[in-house]
Amino acid sequence: MKFISLGSGSSGNCYYINTANTGIIIDLGLGIRTFKKLYKDYGLSLAEIQGILVTHNHTDHTKAIGPLSNEFHIPVYTTEAVHEGMMKNIYLSKKVHPSEKRIICHYETFEIGAFRITAFPVPHDSHGNNGYIIEAEGKTLVLITDIGHVTEEIKQAISKAEHLIVESNYDLAMLESGKYPNHLKRRIKGPYGHISNTETAELLAENLNKERIKNIWLCHLSEENNTPELARSTTKAALTEKGFNLNTQLSLISLPRRTPYGIIEV
Ligand SMILES: [Zn+2]
Ligand SMILES: [Zn+2]
């Protein structure tokens, strides 16, 4: 299984994974031209994309889903509430054509080519939000982004992860002393906003399976209220204290916000 991050954060999220014969996109919050250029730079073929998964209806995750799906007739998989949200989202000018809509339900596993995919609910200020457990070639990749707090469903998914993409949005001290207006600080810190480096670190240290986990990619880092070094060192410290071996056993990386990262064979 290969993994590429094409963008991660409020300026646009997009992840790509593939096996020998199936490619899927998870979220597409980049502009369509930027996406096509980055994608082509990797020498990848758009014809191989067999599905687009959507975590939730915020424009930094959905901007170019309609344009890509319509141009290449790619089905879009997400909950009914997220489909409805995208239809009503005034920032999305090109909507997903009805024939490309695929409605999924939490905990009902479905397949796209070689991938077996299970969505589960996550708390955020949007409706029908999804985390994903993605299995192929005997490997399990878990994606959890844009969560306001940790739930039992999230802990369970973390415990299954061999390869994990997980939000580490902000450093609390940077957010509190930063220049964001108070209402925005409250939203980010609130139960339906985002989670901090410390919350991510604790979530992972308490719930990862030490024998299973191989790769952790910290995603959706705030540009104003975080740094890649701080996000990584906070989680690294918590995992090291719990006896995880980051030198040989496990790779831990903060995904860059605006530049691609990959291809990584997992
Ligand atoms: Zn987001
Ligand atoms: Zn969001």
Domain ranges of the chain: 2-265
Architecture of domain 2-265: 4-Layer Sandwich (3.60)
Residue 262 tokens read as 């990959």
CB distance 243 to 209 below 8 Å? no
Q: What is the pLDDT of residues 130-145, one digit of tens each?
A: 999 999 999 999 999 9
Ligand 2 centroid, distance to 128 Cα (angstroms) = 12
Ligand 2 centroid, distance to 146 Cα (angstroms) = 5
pLDDT of 264 reads: 83
- Span 226-240, mean pLDDT? 98
Is 16 strand, coil or helix? strand
Q: What is the pLDDT confidence band of residue 261, given thresholds at 50, 70 and 90?
A: very high
pLDDT of 265 reads: 85
Ligand 2 centroid, distance to 21 Cα (angstroms) = 30
Q: Can you tell me the distance from the alpha carbon of 122 to that of 132, in angstroms, rounded to the nearest whole number?
A: 10
pLDDT of 57 reads: 98
Q: What is the pLDDT of residues 185-217, one digit of tens each?
A: 999 999 999 999 999 999 999 999 999 999 999
Ligand 1 centroid, distance to 110 Cα (angstroms) = 24
